[in-house]
Chain A
Amino acid sequence: MHGLILILIVSLFFGGIVVKTKSICAGRKGPGIFQPLKDIWRLIRKGAVFSETATILTRIAPSIYFASVLLAVGCIPFGNVRGLLSFQGDFVFFAYALALGKFFMIIAALDTGSSFEGMGASREAHFSMLAEPAFFGVIGSLALYTGRTSFLDIFTYLHFGNYLSYALGSVMLIILVILTLIENSRMPVDDPNTHLELTMIHEVMVLDYSGFDLGLIQYTTNLKFAMYAALMANLFTGTLRALPDILIFLGTGFLLAVIVGGVESFTARLRMGRIPQFAFSLTSYALLLFLLVLFITGRFS
């Protein structure tokens, strides 16, 4: 429960910090931290326009997308406090629940019968397919290192060993950050600020959304960021007391937002043809990590 509340809090200011970082990097003053939240609030109260080709799927997809992310958030523990859902293999549920939301967003994009949105749908399906194994590899390494198979056990036992776990945690952090960028369609995979439909991925999928549904989708994106931040924070908390834990939690969220804003300010988007390599290379990092853990745990001796 603690985890859920903290993640919800982080999700509220996440988008604002990204925008603020980008503004500062560009030498602008930029809007306030809560501006994106206000935008979402305004959208939620607005009326909506739907495509005439769209069926009921377009209307229900954002809600299911949100529900799937919320359930995934529910799986994440807070240090050694269990999440709402905690069982052996809960990370499988985590990944597959996220996939359910993605499935609905993809078919909702195809639902409008637009050529642009089909493009986005196709790209989203490909890139998430290529990034999918990386998550299972990272979790596999963690499971091997700790000998446990649920989020809570893994994150609790991660710190009973030695300081090696912090070194491992840092390597995993890098993989998780890249995974976050791919899963949330941010730079260098996708540029959320582009105005050209032909180069969009996530934005082009939601071209025909407006009002409540668009607001929900935008909020869900922030929630997803906060969720990955919580996952990263869990690599370093665990045996600490509550207050430092909370600080690490919020701090990780803040740092991730700054990183995302920074990456967006200083890098260009990858060429579309290069993205599959980028996404798939992540899986090989995960495999290397697994090998490393095999060595560390002394299986080869």
Chain B
Amino acid sequence: MDEIALKLLPLVVAMLLGSVLIALVETKLKSLFAYVVLVIIVIGSSVPAIRALAGHPLEVIIKNPQVFGDIPIRIDALSGWFILIINLTMLTGGFYGIGYLKAYRKENTNLSLHWILMVIFHLSMLSVCVIQNGLLFLIAWEIMSLSSMLLVIFEHYKPETLRAGLNYLVQMHLSVVLLTLGVAGLYLQTQSFDFSSAMQLDNAAILPLFILLFLGFAFKAGFMLGFIPLHTWLPHAHPAAPSHVSGIMSGVMIKIGIFGILRMILLFPLSKTGYLEIIGWIILGVSLASGLYGVMLAIIQHNLKKLLAYHSIENIGIIGMGIGLGCIGLGIDNPYLSAAGFASALLHTLNHSLFKSSLFYAAGNVYRAAHTLNLESLGGLFRKMPHTALLFLLSALAICGLPPFNGFISEFILYGGLYQGSLHARPVGALLLILTILGLALIGGLAMLCFTKAFGIVFLGKGRKPLPESDWQEGPGNLIPLYVNSGLILAIGLFPATFVKFLSAPLALFIPNFNLSFFNFELLDNLQQVSRATVGLLAVSLIMLGIRYIVTHRTVQEVAPTWGCGYNGGAERMQYTATSFVRMYRKLAAPVLLVHRKNVEFPEIFPHEKRTYETHPEDALEANLIDIPIDLMQRFLSFFRFIQNGKIQNYLLYGLVFLFLIGLLSWSKLI
């Protein structure tokens, strides 16, 4: 065992050193060199991950009794699955970054820092997945948070980027506080930092510790926990970061939170407490609320990346619904429910990392050429960048859960589990599950509204505002990552059983007496049938297009102006906009949303100035539960501002008073 540890350590050290070397490479080759380092890490870490998925988990314990205690490094099937997802997204994201950062060649130091951080970020994410020593885990977690924060503020000279970075930093540390408390509690209870010691916890201690750690991980994942908004960092951080960084963050980093939650479910002997079913219900409810709230806010966003960020909250909700269903299944001892729940959660984690990173890369292509992500000023980009447009469309269809793409498969498994659950649950449970199903269907409908808007407004119609002269060329560097992701999206959608098969090892961890033939029979065989349906859908579509070509290629095909009801002037400004497309929705959902409208009208019949109309969507939960308390706190604290007045004499006096007080208190034996 120790031999492997000896091999492992130098590798990590070498990688860290290699990352520093990035600074020395000349600007032109810097990105390429860094990418090579990333690829080496990917290869090195994928091998044990694949072995773990194939049923050969790895356990290395580094004996180091000085500070940390024994450091167990365990790569089981769950870690393996997440490591592979991380590696895949790092490969595409890193590649996309090479092309994306070409525009920033002048900022040499900035680039060096960026790529070094990228390597560290990758290593820290992998470490979080494998290290099972509480203290070291927290350190790796902190490195992950810090490096991602620094990656977000790549364009640190922009004040709003810096503000988003600070916001992110603060919120991530709330998560760290919760995790630290959890790990400390674990240590106090068991005298060991090893995660596996959680098995020996007292019944009374299990639940509070689980809740602490769950909250910490839910922060990272961006859950909206009922009235505790843990998601508010997402929509600020993602738009500010460079596109490949937002793709990686949204694609995999928030999944580390999901990984943490899954890991906790595995490690804590929750079944001993008897609350497993209730925990499942709570996770299910919270996830449904997250999903609905995320997509409801996504619809009204005008910034493409912000829209995508809110959509991550929705998808985290869908993943969470799978986890909740899995826990319910474990609680009521129904292997089908737990298999369907966890399988859909794990598969949707992969699926979301594919289509969400793709969407962010496509948004990056738009931003690189148009220099704006405001939906209201975009339009008609399909003609200028057809590849990006089609790949965006494909990912948009996948994220809406439409067949024959991968999002459909994970949602299909989830629906199957929910329906099965409603058949076997008690009446209240059945009612709750059918409400969840209706909620999931509503999420699907809302997502469709959101992405018809996003795709239709950005890529279709005519340009809404004049855009700057720019290079609209799409190079292979901007497209290859998108094509790779799209290929996988389609492959999972068409041949789901091939991919779901790999889930048997992670599922076996969750489900006691996991029965492989049952899994094959109930899930895989059915997915073979689904595969027939999705392949059929694609085939019939292609056949219809063929028939259409045969019938129409001889007939006259004319091109004429769009039907304008007799007047075609000002067609660009007459088009539907992002705001008008969702106006009806905004009015319907007004009680839940917070949208500021600015409507400037002029009373004359023929006004000289243009009439303007703007809407500014805001996050109601953030505004009411975070901004208002912070405002109140600031107002309260401002009464004490006289203390910090910049005079050194006063500060010395404070020190003196403090010492005097300490002396007084200890003299009177109070402390």
Contacts and interface: CB of A to CB of B under 8 A. Distances in A.
A189 interface: no
Contacts of B427: 294, 299-300
A291 B422 CA distance: 12
B437 interface: yes
Interface string B392-419: 0100010011110000100110011001
B430 A133 contact: no
Nearest to A84: B536
Interface of A is mostly: helix
A90 to B, nearest CB: 7
Nearest to A75: B533
Interface in B539-592: 540-541, 543-545, 547-548, 551-552, 555-565, 571-572, 574-576, 580-585, 588
A89 B526 CA distance: 9
Interface string A49-87: 111111101011011101110110011000000001111
Contact of B564 (A67, A75, A114): A114
Contact of A110 (B444, B452, B537, B548): B452
A106 B581 CA distance: 11
Interface string B448-486: 110111011100111000000000000000000000000
B533 A66 contact: no
Contact of B438 (A88, A114, A137): A137
Contacts, number: 268
Contacts of A86: 529
A231 interface: no
A147 B530 CA distance: 21
Contacts of A88: 416, 526
A87 B529 contact: yes
Interface residues of B, number: 85
Most buried by A among B440, B445, B547, B551: B445
B63 interface: no
Most buried by B among A45, A53, A144: A53
A111 B461 contact: yes
B420 interface: yes
B371 interface: no
A265 interface: no
Contacts of A182: none
A111 B437 CA distance: 32
B533 A93 contact: yes
Nearest to B556: A47
A90 B408 CA distance: 12
Given A136-B441, A144-B423, A92 B412 contact: yes
A181 interface: no
B563 A51 contact: yes
B446 interface: yes
Contact of B431 (A64, A132, A294): A294
Interface residues of A, number: 87
Contacts of A144: 422-423, 430, 434
Interface string B83-124: 000000000000000000000000000000000000000000
Contact of A129 (B416, B440, B446, B576): B446
Contacts of B564: 114
B431 A290 contact: yes
Interface string A157-181: 0000000000000000000000000
Contact of A294 (B380, B419, B430): B430
B576 A48 contact: no
Interface of B is mostly: helix
A103 B564 CA distance: 23
B551 A103 contact: no
A147 B425 CA distance: 12
B177 interface: no
B387 to A, nearest CB: 13
Nearest to B536: A71
A92 B416 contact: yes
B426 interface: yes
Contacts of B444: 96, 99, 132
Contacts of A64: 541, 544-545
B532 interface: yes
A138 to B, nearest CB: 11
Contacts of A89: 412, 415-416, 419, 526, 530
A39 interface: no
B383 interface: yes
Nearest to B416: A89
Contact of A208 (B403, B536, B563): B563
Contact of A133 (B445, B452, B559, B562): B445
Contacts of A18: none
A60 B545 contact: yes
Interface string A35-53: 0000000001111111111
A106 B456 contact: yes
A207 B561 CA distance: 12
A143 B423 contact: yes
Contacts of B526: 87-89
Interface string B5-28: 000000000000000000000000
| 6 shortest interchain CB distances as A-B pairs | A118-B576, A129-B445, A110-B456, A113-B461, A47-B556, A87-B529
Interface of B: 379-380, 382-383, 386, 393, 397, 400-403, 408, 411-412, 415-416, 419-420, 422-423, 426-427, 430-431, 434-435, 437-442, 444-446, 448-449, 451-453, 455-457, 460-462, 526, 529-530, 532-533, 536-537, 540-541, 543-545, 547-548, 551-552, 555-565, 571-572, 574-576, 580-585, 588
12 contacts: A49-B560, A97-B533, A99-B400, A115-B575, A126-B585, A128-B445, A129-B442, A133-B437, A143-B422, A212-B552, A287-B435, A290-B434
